[in-house]
Copies of this chain bind each other. A is one copy, B any other.
Amino acid sequence: MAEQDVDDVRNKLETGSARDVREAVRAGAWRTTTHGLARGFVQANVAIVPEAYALDFMRFCHRNPKPCPLLDVTDTGDPEFRQIAPGSDVRTDLSEYSVYRDGELAAEPGDIRDLWREDLVAFAMGCSLSFDQILLDHGIDVAHLDRPGGRIAVYTSGLQCAAAGPFEGPMVVSMRPIPRHQLDRVIEVTSRYPATHGGPVHVGDPREIGIDDPDKVDWGAPAVVGPEDETVFWGCGVTPQAVAMAARLPLMITHKTGHMLLTDLRLKELAQ
């Protein structure tokens, strides 16, 4: 597509519904990341595993709700998220996928129809794109969103997840510098949204959760922490992916970073 056409589609999808985005992706009319699309709708991380691992994976999510806030799980072999995205098809509705075999990245296809099997189970989990929107809606300054690509500082922390079967390991966390005078408000607001990682898992010195050098990120880009800022850490949706990779499942398929599932849930519905 020419650049102008991409801009036209983007403009349309930014104000469109989640279903509009899913249909555009399915039709091949949108092939890049979903940041900023279908404003007000919840975007989700996706992980697809064979049924033999699904019960343990679901237990892992339930035991670690901050990094893995489970929004929906499909029936075995059913590619539709019936609760959060009726009419969706997880084989075609993400613009890019990551396919892992035995824990190694094997392919990044634009759809997974040829990989689908009757024993696969798909999980959708809350993600931090939605989270950032909540902060913005509440008038909180989110510095990383002003940077090109909106890349955020993400670390493998020293906090251990509660294990479930083969799924175990450290919690991956995202860090946002928050102006000290907004700290109470940030904790209050994010705690009301358990479906998008909830309240912080840590506030303050990164070393207390095993992050010795905040300039060395594991994903994303380091943050600029001003003199008036506190470093605030939240559970991150990379956790279940990292844990499942470490478990070296024979097959696991996820969204590619930034290429999220658009759900019919609205951010405002998620508030507790």
Contact = CB atoms under 8 A, between A and B. Distances in A.
Contact of A59 (B59, B73, B164, B191): B73
A233 to B, nearest CB: 21
Interface string A47-79: 000010011001100110000001011011000
A272 B194 contact: yes
Contacts of A76: 55
The prevalent SS among residues of A at the interface is: mixed
Given A55-B51, A58-B55, A192-B272, A63 B83 contact: yes
Contact of A75 (B72, B73, B82, B164): B164
Interface in A164-178: 164-165
Interface residues of A, number: 22
A121 B164 CA distance: 13
22 contacts: A51-B55, A54-B55, A55-B55, A55-B58, A55-B76, A55-B121, A58-B59, A58-B62, A59-B73, A59-B75, A62-B70, A62-B72, A62-B73, A63-B83, A75-B164, A75-B165, A82-B162, A83-B162, A191-B272, A192-B272, A194-B272, A272-B272
